[in-house]
């Protein structure tokens, strides 16, 4: 490889690109995608409407209809909605606008790695606090860290990826009270948790709260890339400073609008996925495997030799996620809940691998 004409920024020299390891496997249970395609009626509607899209013209710059649809679905003011190409881009916009040099973010580890990577890409100093034994946020320690480091943006993931646990309302309220800036709650997996576990109601009383959500999981649209955030309209208005022109394509807008129209049908299989999640956890516990309680669409579990177990599952055409290189998760694997036949294949393969071990 030749030397680049210009070296990367000094603060990015030790930043590794985000990688979700992929390899061919019949049963892909490693990336938390929905196992079901979108409803047929939604797909047919999109196909018909695509014929009327003027692909030679720029899309609606403000995605007006999509914003209106999401605001109505979320029950939040349209002026307090922001939409982007996946919730990762929402985070990028947040940190381009409110992070950057001289500002600090705080995460609670282990959690979603992009919650640290995106701030660093945006030039933000990052601070990490460890979670407790059962991966909950230690409120007293968190408040102490906030008072010491004065982070501009505090990030909470609930349900947390990859551990699956949700945070208590009292925890988030304590963070909101202590934080000098924003508290961002990533609810990418919120539809798989109890309705009472969402923090959206707190938006009405806390102007420093930001909620992010995605269409990639429960909505069965990972390939479309739609994410959104709900926040105080005054915060949302500032994001227009960092948005690229026409960043939401006409096709993205069309599919998002159709998904909202078919919301009931699209989300009707959430409970079926949650049942498979609980079934996986029960099957693992029946085999004396340590399982961490999950309110998402995946299960984190511990094994003595995760590399060997992961490799053995791959040999049986089952791909799960390995976390042996992540601090606090050295013995952990994570499996996505999906179709009943995928659960069958995972359990059968695991029995073979554990038996061989």
Q: Give percent of the chain above pLDDT 70.
A: 100
Question: How many C-beta atoms lie closer than 10 Å to residue 5's C-beta?
Answer: 5
The answer to whether 160 and 132 are in contact (CB under 8 A) is no
Between CA 226 and CA 233, with CA 227 as vertex, the angle to 5 degrees is 130
Give me the pLDDT at residue 357, please: 64
**pLDDT > 90? residue 23:** no
The answer to whether 329 and 160 are in contact (CB under 8 A) is no
Of the residues 242, 261, 280, which one is the last residue of a structural domain?
A: 261
CATH of the domain at 245: 3.40.640.10
Together in a domain, 289 and 301:
yes
Q: Is residue 29 part of a domain?
A: yes
Distance, CA of 149 to CA of 127 (rounded, Å): 8
Give me the pLDDT at residue 356, please: 72
Give me the pLDDT at residue 2, please: 85
Of the residues 261, 293, 323, which one is the last residue of a structural domain?
A: 261
Domain total in the chain: 2
Give me the pLDDT at residue 329, please: 97
Which residue(s) pair with 108 in the sheet?
Answer: 129
Together in a domain, 115 and 105:
yes
Q: Which tokens go with 184?
A: 């961002």
Together in a domain, 76 and 201:
yes
Together in a domain, 123 and 158:
yes
**pLDDT > 90? residue 98:** yes
Together in a domain, 58 and 144:
yes
Together in a domain, 174 and 305:
no
Q: Is residue 7 part of a domain?
A: no
Together in a domain, 323 and 196:
no
Query: Which of the four pLDDT bands, split at 50, 70 and 90, describes residue 35?
Result: very high
Per-residue pLDDT reduced to its tens digit, 232-275 = 999 999 999 999 999 999 999 999 999 999 999 999 999 999 99
**pLDDT > 70? residue 126:** yes
Q: Is residue 249 part of a domain?
A: yes
Q: Is residue 331 part of a domain?
A: yes
Residue 71 CA, distance from chain mean position = 20
Distance, CA of 85 to CA of 100 (rounded, Å): 21
* Domain span at 342: 22-38+268-356
Q: Is residue 197 part of a domain?
A: yes
The answer to whether 148 and 98 are in contact (CB under 8 A) is no
The answer to whether 281 and 325 are in contact (CB under 8 A) is no
Q: Is residue 241 part of a domain?
A: yes
CATH of the domain at 332: 3.90.1150.10
Q: Is residue 13 part of a domain?
A: no
Together in a domain, 217 and 280:
no
């Amino acid at each position: 490889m030749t030397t680049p004409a210009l070296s990367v920024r000094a603060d990015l020299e030790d930043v590794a690109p985000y990688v979700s390891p992929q390899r061919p496997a019949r049963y892909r249970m490693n990336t938390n995608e929905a196992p079901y395609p979108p409803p047929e009626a939604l797909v047919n509607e999109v196909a018909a409407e695509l014929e009327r899209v003027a692909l030679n013209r720029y899309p609606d710059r403000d995605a007006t209809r999509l914003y209106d649809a999401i605001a109505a679905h979320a029950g939040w003011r349209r002026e307090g909605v922001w939409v982007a190409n996946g919730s990762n881009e929402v985070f990028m916009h947040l940190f381009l606008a409110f992070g950057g040099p001289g500002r600090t973010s705080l995460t609670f580890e282990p959690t979603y790695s992009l919650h640290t990577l995106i701030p660093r890409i945006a030039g933000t100093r990052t601070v990490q606090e460890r979670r407790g034994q059962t991966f909950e946020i230690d409120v007293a320690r968190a408040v102490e860290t906030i008072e010491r480091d004065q982070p501009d943006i505090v990030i909470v993931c609930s349900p947390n990826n990859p551990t699956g646990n949700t945070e208590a309302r009292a925890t988030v309220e304590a963070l909101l009270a202590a934080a000098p800036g924003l508290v961002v709650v990533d609810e990418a997996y919120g539809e798989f948790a109890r309705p009472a576990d969402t923090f959206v109601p707190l938006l009405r009383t806390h102007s420093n709260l930001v909620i992010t959500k995605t269409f990639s999981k429960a909505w069965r649209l990972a390939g479309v890339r739609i994410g959104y955030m709900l926040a105080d309209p005054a915060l949302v208005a500032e994001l227009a400073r960092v948005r690229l022109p026409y960043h939401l394509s006409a096709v993205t807008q069309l599919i998002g609008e159709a998904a909202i129209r078919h919301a009931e049908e699209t989300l009707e299989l959430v409970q079926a996925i949650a049942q498979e999640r609980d079934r996986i956890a029960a099957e693992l516990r029946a085999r004396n495997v340590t399982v961490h309680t999950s309110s998402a669409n995946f299960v984190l579990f511990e094994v003595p030799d995760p590399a060997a177990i992961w490799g053995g599952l791959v040999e049986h055409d089952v791909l799960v996620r390995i976390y042996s290189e992540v601090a606090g998760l050295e013995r952990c694997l994570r499996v996505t809940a999906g179709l009943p036949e995928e659960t069958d294949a995972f359990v059968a393969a695991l029995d073979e691998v554990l038996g061989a071990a």
